[in-house]
Amino acid sequence: MSLLVTGTVAFDAIETPFGKTDKIIGGAATYVSLAASYFTGSVGLIAVVGDDFPQTYIDFLKSRGIDTSGLQVKEGEKSFFWSGRYFNDMNSRETLITELNVLADFDPIVPSGLDAPDYLMLGNLAPKVQSTLISRLSKRPKLIAMDTMNFWMDVAMDDLKETLKMVDVLTINDEEARQLSGEYSLIKASRKIREMGPKYLIIKKGEHGALLFYNDKVFFAPAMLLEDVFDPTGAGDTFAGGFIGWLAKTDDISFENMKRAIIYGSALASFCVEKFGTDNIVNIDENLLQERVAAFKELSYVEMLP
Amino acid sequence: MSLLVTGTVAFDAIETPFGKTDKIIGGAATYVSLAASYFTGSVGLIAVVGDDFPQTYIDFLKSRGIDTSGLQVKEGEKSFFWSGRYFNDMNSRETLITELNVLADFDPIVPSGLDAPDYLMLGNLAPKVQSTLISRLSKRPKLIAMDTMNFWMDVAMDDLKETLKMVDVLTINDEEARQLSGEYSLIKASRKIREMGPKYLIIKKGEHGALLFYNDKVFFAPAMLLEDVFDPTGAGDTFAGGFIGWLAKTDDISFENMKRAIIYGSALASFCVEKFGTDNIVNIDENLLQERVAAFKELSYVEMLP
């Protein structure tokens, strides 16, 4: 089934304890659409870049089956740029530079061929832009998933709450779930957040795995234990892309299939963090991916005695 | 099969965001032996208290099938006392009072009826006392498990490393695993720690679950999501008691059965934190326990498509 993705397409400059990069390709929608492209050949991208963004990378996205007709290229302007440094624990980071550039007045224009997706993934963006995109579709998608971050809770909480009413699935991390709900207990937090709109809540916990909440059900997905986490940038977006890509491929939004989607998303994210930026997710071997998925299933499998 | 347990039997005074207690019964060996008593009727206890320790509680332990002939009661002396305060996140705490009292010169004397256990659980104590107890057994148990904490890494690392050489299973938390190994990556930490002696390593991660490492295998056990964690005191000891109790009951130390043991330990620990001290583990209904175990298995169960 068709999937539409929005979010940033950008340059990042990253420092980790393992090294640093110059400007490399990044942005939520880049990671989401790349990850989803492993599962579905029908991915459309709504985003904006400046004329400094390399055509070779746009061509690469096309080669992965991603429809870039909704990627606006603004002549004479620069792409969004973010630079950050991760601390030793790799769980916390500081932002060094944020240059909004083309993102400052991003108007998500939807080409007519992309305006009726079955699945929609709203990658991290201003919540107002996310809701504008929804309003421009010709029909309500079967499932709308949304990612956001603490930044929007600080500066645009009202917009965020309006957009939350329009979506089915929210993905955030544990700190953000606590901030959004004002509850420390994640089970209480999940209840309050689901009263804000999304029926499904996914709480991403990095090296501790992920939680899926729906009605009175909870799924606790493990995280792969890796020798080293080289660069966490984009891991959450890759997770979201794998998740929504699997749902679009299978066209099954049952709780059981969402659990599988989380395993696929987690497997892709575990590749993402093993190298800088998108380096390790541009060309994942199908067998390696299936091996990683099998390892995930094995990780928490236990056969109890009758 | 028979199980021998050592560790502290003590008084605790606890403050949490939910309230505070006067002196209540606590201590690692109390939690371990109580938890193990749900699985095996053959639990022996080696510990020391002062004459301030209530005979009624010793009688209660006996009523749970725990052999207290190795519990020394020192006339004219006082029991070990610990007081602490948990912060809002319930993951960190500060120690307010530590009175060693009878623990200062604890000599772990093993009555002849208890000197040949099949399973041994060394609850948190000075590592020198833990190794002394091992040396006093008439035969090497089938499995020796050991719990310890960062305090002993700070003040008795050499003793700790000697004791580690004598045990099969070590249970510690993630911060302690990082401190003991000097490695941030838990997979690297687990390798270094297992080179120190224990073939099996269990890393306890509180609300994030637990990890079991053995050879090149890893098991990622989920944690139950609770409305509120009321008092974390004794959760790790209860986990260890459930773990070793299940192994002693089934007399099966395969990796598959250790995974089950971790689920049983986790289930008991999830009861422990729901009330102050030992209140919620002195009398767990068998049906409730089985329900909780089933919920644990369900929590991370996923059926992948072929």
Subunit contact B187:A259, Cβ cutoff 8 A: no
State the residue for tokens 């995109």: A133
Q: Which domains does chain B have, with CATH numbers?
A: 3-299 (3.40.1190.20)
- Establish if B186 touches chain A: CB-CB under 8 angstroms: yes
Q: Which residues 141-180 on chain A approach chain B with CB closer than 8 angstroms?
A: none
The sheet carrying A119-122 orders its strands as A66-74, A43-50, A3-6, A119-122, A143-147, A169-173, A200-204, A210-214, A217-221
Quote the minimal CA–CA distance from B31 to chain A in Å.
Answer: 24
B263-278 pLDDT per residue, tens = 999 999 999 999 999 9
B149-183 pLDDT per residue, tens = 999 999 999 999 999 999 999 999 999 999 999 99
Query: Rounded to whole angstroms, how far apart are CA atoms A145 and A258?
Result: 12
- Establish if A56 touches chain B: CB-CB under 8 angstroms: no
Q: Residue B232 has what pLDDT?
A: 93
Quote the minimal CA–CA distance from A295 to chain B in Å.
Answer: 10
Subunit contact A304:B260, Cβ cutoff 8 A: yes
Quote the minimal CA–CA distance from A301 to chain B in Å.
Answer: 7
Point out the residue among A90, A227, A293 whose CB comes nearest to the CB of B188: A227
Point out the residue among A226, A297, A304 whose CB comes nearest to the CB of B304: A297
Query: Rounded to whole angstroms, how far apart are CA atoms B262 and B114?
Result: 26
3-state secondary structure B35-102: HHCCCCCCEEEEEEEECCCCHHHHHHHHHCCEEEEEEEEECCCCCCEEEEEECCCCCCEEEEEEECHH
Distances (CA, A) of B100 to B82, B104, B132: 8, 5, 19
Q: Residue B17 has what pLDDT?
A: 87
pLDDT-flagged residues of chain A (< 50):
none
CA dihedral A80, A81, A87, A89 (to 10 degrees): 40
Query: Rounded to whole angstroms, how far apart are CA atoms B27 and B37?
Result: 16
Determine the Cα angle at B260 with ends B235 and B282, to 5°: 40
Q: Which residues contact A104 (CB under 8 A, 6 or more apart)?
A: none
- Establish if A191 touches chain B: CB-CB under 8 angstroms: no
- Establish if B252 touches chain A: CB-CB under 8 angstroms: no
- Establish if B300 touches chain A: CB-CB under 8 angstroms: yes
Residue A237 tokens read as 């977006």
Name which of A125, A52, A61, A85 is nearest A283 in CA terms.
Answer: A61
Of A227-231, B130-134, B213-217, minimum mean pLDDT range: A227-231
Subunit contact A187:B263, Cβ cutoff 8 A: no
Cβ-based contacts of A223 with chain B (< 8 Å): 220
* DSSP structure class, residue A7: S
Q: Average pLDDT for residues B212-230, to the nearest whole number?
A: 94
Q: Which residues contact B16 (CB under 8 A, 6 or more apart)?
A: B85, B86, B90, B230, B231, B276
Residue B14 tokens read as 């606890």
How many C-beta neighbours within 10 Å does residue B69 have? 14
Subunit contact A185:B222, Cβ cutoff 8 A: no
Cβ-based contacts of B220 with chain A (< 8 Å): 209, 222-223, 225, 299-300
Cβ-based contacts of A305 with chain B (< 8 Å): 250, 260
Position B306 pLDDT exceeds 90 = no
Mutate to test the interface with B, among A184, A291, A300, A305 (most CBs of B within 10 A): A300
> Taking a C-beta distance cutoff of 8 angstroms, is the pair B149, B159 a contact?
no
- Establish if B188 touches chain A: CB-CB under 8 angstroms: yes
Q: Residue A90 has what pLDDT?
A: 77
Residue B75 tokens read as 């006339």
- Establish if A186 touches chain B: CB-CB under 8 angstroms: yes
- Establish if B208 touches chain A: CB-CB under 8 angstroms: yes
Q: Is B286 helix (H, G, I), strand (E, B) or coil?
A: helix
State the residue for tokens 């499995």: B143
- Establish if A290 touches chain B: CB-CB under 8 angstroms: no
- Establish if A58 touches chain B: CB-CB under 8 angstroms: no
Quote the minimal CA–CA distance from A128 to chain B in Å.
Answer: 33
Subunit contact B185:A223, Cβ cutoff 8 A: no
Query: How do A10-16 and A24-26 pair as beta strands?
Result: antiparallel
Name which of A238, A257, A108, A83 is nearest A171 in CA terms.
Answer: A238
Q: Which residues contact A286 (CB under 8 A, 6 or more apart)?
A: none
- What is the value of ipTM here, to two decimals? 0.93
Q: Residue B14 has what pLDDT?
A: 95
B46-87 pLDDT per residue, tens = 999 999 999 999 999 999 999 999 999 999 999 999 999 998
Q: Residue B116 has what pLDDT?
A: 98
Q: Residue B136 has what pLDDT?
A: 98
Q: Residue A305 has what pLDDT?
A: 85
Quote the minimal CA–CA distance from B235 to chain A in Å.
Answer: 17
Mutate to test the interface with B, among A225, A252, A257, A303 (most CBs of B within 10 A): A225
Dihedral over Cα of A182, A183, A187, A191: its sign:
negative
Query: Rounded to whole angstroms, how far apart are CA atoms A167 and B135?
Result: 63
Query: Rounded to whole angstroms, how far apart are CA atoms B183 and B171?
Result: 17
Subunit contact A219:B88, Cβ cutoff 8 A: no
Q: Residue B88 has what pLDDT?
A: 78
Name which of B3, B55, B77 is nearest B33 in CA terms.
Answer: B3
- Establish if A255 touches chain B: CB-CB under 8 angstroms: no
Subunit contact B222:A225, Cβ cutoff 8 A: no
Residue A207 tokens read as 């090296």
Residue A226 tokens read as 């890796």
> Taking a C-beta distance cutoff of 8 angstroms, is the pair A26, A12 a contact?
yes
Subunit contact A300:B88, Cβ cutoff 8 A: no
**CB burial of residue B160 (10 Å; 0-12, 13-18, 19+):** buried
State the residue for tokens 């209840």: A191
Quote the minimal CA–CA distance from B303 to chain A in Å.
Answer: 7
